[in-house]
Structure 1
Amino acid sequence: MLKQGMARWLLLAFIIMVVDQATKLAIESAFEFGDVLPIFNGFNLVLTYNKGAAFSFLATAGGWQRHFFTLLALVVSVAIVAMLRKHHGETRFALALSLILGGAVGNLIDRLLYGHVIDFLDVYWGTSHWPAFNIADSAICVGAVLMVLDSFKKPADQTT
């Protein structure tokens, strides 16, 4: 049974996962691999696949990384749900966990279904391109930043 207040954080994670998957399916149906659609200077839509982790880390490792990152996403997701159960009343921390959970599950689905993660957001400056990414990656990064910010808060029982 869900603890009171925890459902909203799981709902947020679910919404992130759904938006992530919907955008990936839309790109997959509209693009061929490698297609690029310029949106404005500094931003393109592309269709590319990532067999590694963030920013193509270990993408050429030979195949074992798919299973490693799949297992890692499963373990992290279970750990996050356990942490949400304990910390669902801490808004910023719970928001961070929800963003990371939604992103992790979004990319996990790709790994399970396709053996790679679908990336489609391409940010660049001049001729230098940031590695392509997706909504799940964005949610994970925002969640990580929120966790860092949350780590600077004073404990409730500490006086100034």
Structure 2
Amino acid sequence: MSKLAQKSGLVWLWLSLLLLVIDFASKTLVVNTMAYQESINLLPVFSITYVHNYGAAYSFLSEAGGWQRWFLSVIAIAISCLLVWWLKRLPASNKVLCGAYSLVLAGAIGNLYDRIAYGYVIDFIHVFYDKSHFPVFNIADCAICIGAALLLFDAFTGESPKEHKA
């Protein structure tokens, strides 16, 4: 058995930490260099647009009156705890699931930090075509989406090794 297979998936937390640093640095750069709602066009279909999201994905619950801040924070904390527990039970050699859990964990914590510190999530990646605009998002959201795609990939391929016995 390889040394990686003997270790738990917690060794993959380096990926979560790396993405948290990138997410925090990118949001800090945007906040420190742009005015709120300022937009910088970089390509005909892409711009950096500084906005606040008081809700969840696609601004879901953004007009809920404030309670959603704490509701979404509790959900993020619960999901983060569950992901760490799952990582502990997985062998580190399960690259797809460990990577997926680490990505989702980074995204959840990155947006959780914003929610607790500011009351909203800082978004700035704006993709559009003509008059069609995708909701503005951030690095944490990218990590969550890529992690979710890896989870779907794993579910459909079914190649993941079993978790460690507790």
The one-letter code sitting in structure 2 at the alignment partner of 1:86 is R
Which residue in 2 is equivalent to 1:48? 51
Unaligned stretches of 5+ residues in structure 2? 1-5, 162-166
SS in 2 for 1:45: strand
Question: How high is the TM-score relative to the length of structure 1?
Answer: 0.92
1:39/1:156 CA distance change after superposition, 3 Å: closer
SS in 2 for 1:58: coil
How does 1:15-94 map onto structure 2 within 5 Å?
15-87=18-90, 88-94=92-98
Question: How high is the TM-score relative to the length of structure 2?
Answer: 0.89
Q: 1-side partners of 2:158 and 2:146: how far apart?
A: 21
Shift of 1:152: 1.2
Matching residue within 100, 112, 115 for 2:104: 100
Aligned residues: 155
* RMSD (Å), alpha carbons: 1.5
1:5/1:126 CA distance change after superposition, 3 Å: same
Are residues 1:14 and 2:24 paired? Answer: no
Q: 1-side partners of 2:43 and 2:70: how far apart?
A: 37
Shift of 1:155: 5.5
Matching residue within 137, 145, 152 for 1:141: 145
